[in-house]
Structure 1
Amino acid sequence: MESYQIFLILMAVYLLGLIGIGLYFTKKQKSVTDFWLAGRKISAIGIGFSAASSWMTAGGILSVIALYMLLGMGSIWDFVAPNILALLLIALLVGKIKHLPAITQPELLEQRFSSSIRAPVAIVIAIVMALFAVADIKGFSLVLSIFFGLEPIYAAAIVALAISVYVTLGGFSAVIWTDMIQFIMLATFSLIIAFVLVGAATTGTADTSAMTSSDLFGDVPSGWWNPISVGVPAVLIAIFAIIPGWITEQDPWQRIWAAKDEKSARNGMILGSFLIFLIFGVACTAIAISLNHIYPEIPASFAEIGMGAMADAEPALLVYIVSSLSPVAVGLCAVGLAAAAMSSADTFATSGGSCISRDIYQRYIKPDATMKQMMTINRISVLIIVALATVLSFYIDSIIDVIHIATFIASAAYFFPLMGGLYWKRATKQGALAGLIVGAVVQIGLTAVDLANTPPFALPYLTTLHPVLSNHGVILGMLLSGVAFFGVSLATKPSDTVNLAPFFADEAEKLEKEAMVVDESDPEYKKLVKVIEKEVTGDRAIVKLNLEASATINWDKFVNELKNIHPSWVTPTGRNSVYRLTRADMLSCVSLTRGDSEKEIWFAAEPMAADIDLSEKEFLIAFKQAAEAFANIGLLLTLPAEN
Structure 2
Amino acid sequence: MSTLDIGGLILVFVAILYIGVKSTSKVKNSDDYLLAGKSLNKVQAGFSLAATDLGGSGLIGASAYCYTVGISGSWWNLCAVPAFILLGIFLIRRLRPLAIATGPEFLEKRYDKKSRIIASVMQICAIVAGLSAQFLVGAVALNVLMDVPMQVGLIISVAVVILYTMGGGLIAVVNTDIFQFIILVGSVIVAVPLALVKAGGLDTVVASLPAEYFSMGELGFWTPVSWICLCLFLYTTQQTYLQRVFAAKDTSTAVFAYVFTGVIYIFYGLAVGFIGVIMASMMPGIVDANTVYAVMIESVMPPGLAGVVLGGVFAASMSTADSYLMAGTSLFINDIYTPLFGKDKEDKQMLLHSRILTVVICLGSLILANFVQNLIDMVYLAGLFYSTSVFFPIILGVFWKRTNATGAFSGIIASLIVGFSVEYIFADVTTGILSLPSNILSALSGLIVMVLVSLMTKKPAEEKVKFLEAS
Assess if the C-alpha contact under 8 Å between 1:245 and 1:411 holds in 2.
yes
Question: In the alignment, what sits opposite 1:82?
Answer: 79
For residue 460 of structure 2, give the secondary structure of its aligned residue in structure 1. coil
Assess if the C-alpha contact under 8 Å between 1:143 and 1:334 holds in 2.
yes
Question: In the alignment, what sits opposite 1:433?
Answer: 409
Assess if the C-alpha contact under 8 Å between 1:84 and 1:277 holds in 2.
yes
* Residue number among 457, 464, 467 corresponding to 1:492 in the alignment: 457
1:475 is matched by which residue type in structure 2?
I
2:385 is matched by which residue type in structure 1?
I
Partner Cα distance (1:263, 1:252) in 2: 16
Describe how 1:68-147 pairs up with structure 2 within 5 A: 68-77=66-75, 79-92=76-89, 93-147=91-145
Question: In the alignment, what sits opposite 2:246?
Answer: 257
Assess if the C-alpha contact under 8 Å between 2:213 and 2:277 holds in 1.
no
Partner Cα distance (1:172, 1:237) in 2: 31
Assess if the C-alpha contact under 8 Å between 2:71 and 2:274 holds in 1.
no
Q: Give the drift of 1:95.
A: 1.3
For residue 27 of structure 1, give the secondary structure of its aligned residue in structure 2. helix
* Residue number among 280, 286, 302 corresponding to 2:274 in the alignment: 286
Partner Cα distance (2:185, 2:282) in 1: 23
Partner Cα distance (2:307, 2:17) in 1: 20
Any idea what the Cα deviations from partners look like across 1:149-180, whole Å, max 9, x if unmatched? 22222222122112212112111111111011
Assess if the C-alpha contact under 8 Å between 1:469 and 1:475 holds in 2.
no
Q: 1:409 to 1:379 in 2, by over 3 A?
A: same
Describe how 1:36-47 pairs up with structure 2 within 5 A: 36-47=34-45
Describe how 1:266-305 pairs up with structure 2 within 5 A: 266-281=255-270, 283-295=271-283, 297-298=284-285
Q: Give the drift of 1:496.
A: 1.6
Assess if the C-alpha contact under 8 Å between 1:469 and 1:476 holds in 2.
no
Question: In the alignment, what sits opposite 1:227?
Answer: 216
Assess if the C-alpha contact under 8 Å between 2:57 and 2:379 holds in 1.
no
Q: Give the drift of 1:330.
A: 3.7
1:371 is matched by which residue type in structure 2?
D
Partner Cα distance (1:23, 1:74) in 2: 41
Q: 1:353 to 1:448 in 2, by over 3 A?
A: farther
Question: In the alignment, what sits opposite 1:336?
Answer: 312
- Alignment pair present for 1:64 and 2:62: yes
* Residue number among 359, 364, 368 corresponding to 1:388 in the alignment: 364
Q: 1:374 to 1:475 in 2, by over 3 A?
A: same
Question: In the alignment, what sits opposite 2:423?
Answer: 447
Higher strand share: 1
Q: 1:8 to 1:434 in 2, by over 3 A?
A: farther
Assess if the C-alpha contact under 8 Å between 1:57 and 1:135 holds in 2.
no
Per mean C-alpha deviation after superposition, the further-off stretch among 371-380 and 353-362 is: 371-380
Any idea what the Cα deviations from partners look like across 1:218-267, whole Å, max 9, x if unmatched? 87543544433433344434433553233322222211111122222212
1:291 is matched by which residue type in structure 2?
M
2:461 is matched by which residue type in structure 1?
D
Assess if the C-alpha contact under 8 Å between 1:47 and 1:272 holds in 2.
no
Per mean C-alpha deviation after superposition, the further-off stretch among 102-111 and 243-252 is: 243-252
Q: 1:215 to 1:412 in 2, by over 3 A?
A: same
- Alignment pair present for 1:366 and 2:332: no
- Alignment pair present for 1:477 and 2:466: no
Question: In the alignment, what sits opposite 1:193?
Answer: 191
Unaligned runs of 5+ in 1: 203-210, 299-308, 451-460, 506-583, 586-643
Assess if the C-alpha contact under 8 Å between 1:87 and 1:247 holds in 2.
no
Assess if the C-alpha contact under 8 Å between 1:463 and 1:470 holds in 2.
no
Question: In the alignment, what sits opposite 1:405?
Answer: 381
For residue 385 of structure 2, give the secondary structure of its aligned residue in structure 1. helix
Unaligned runs of 5+ in 2: none
Q: Give the drift of 1:410.
A: 2.6
Q: Normalising by structure 2, report the TM-score.
A: 0.91
Question: In the alignment, what sits opposite 1:244?
Answer: 233
Partner Cα distance (2:372, 2:277) in 1: 29
Partner Cα distance (1:364, 1:487) in 2: 32
Q: Give the drift of 1:99.
A: 0.1
1:88 is matched by which residue type in structure 2?
I
Any idea what the Cα deviations from partners look like across 1:189-240, whole Å, max 9, x if unmatched? 21222121111112xxxxxxxx5x4675687543544433433344434433
Partner Cα distance (1:421, 1:32) in 2: 28
Q: 1:74 to 1:46 in 2, by over 3 A?
A: same
Partner Cα distance (1:319, 1:480) in 2: 43
Q: 1:180 to 1:150 in 2, by over 3 A?
A: same
Question: In the alignment, what sits opposite 1:546?
Answer: none
Q: 1:447 to 1:102 in 2, by over 3 A?
A: same
2:169 is matched by which residue type in structure 1?
G
Any idea what the Cα deviations from partners look like across 1:36-57, whole Å, max 9, x if unmatched? 2211211222222111111122
Q: 1:488 to 1:392 in 2, by over 3 A?
A: same
* Residue number among 286, 289, 292 corresponding to 1:316 in the alignment: 292
Q: 1:45 to 1:150 in 2, by over 3 A?
A: same
Higher helix share: 2
For residue 54 of structure 2, give the secondary structure of its aligned residue in structure 1. coil
Q: 1:214 to 1:256 in 2, by over 3 A?
A: farther
Per mean C-alpha deviation after superposition, the further-off stretch among 255-264 and 214-223 is: 214-223
Q: Normalising by structure 1, report the TM-score.
A: 0.68
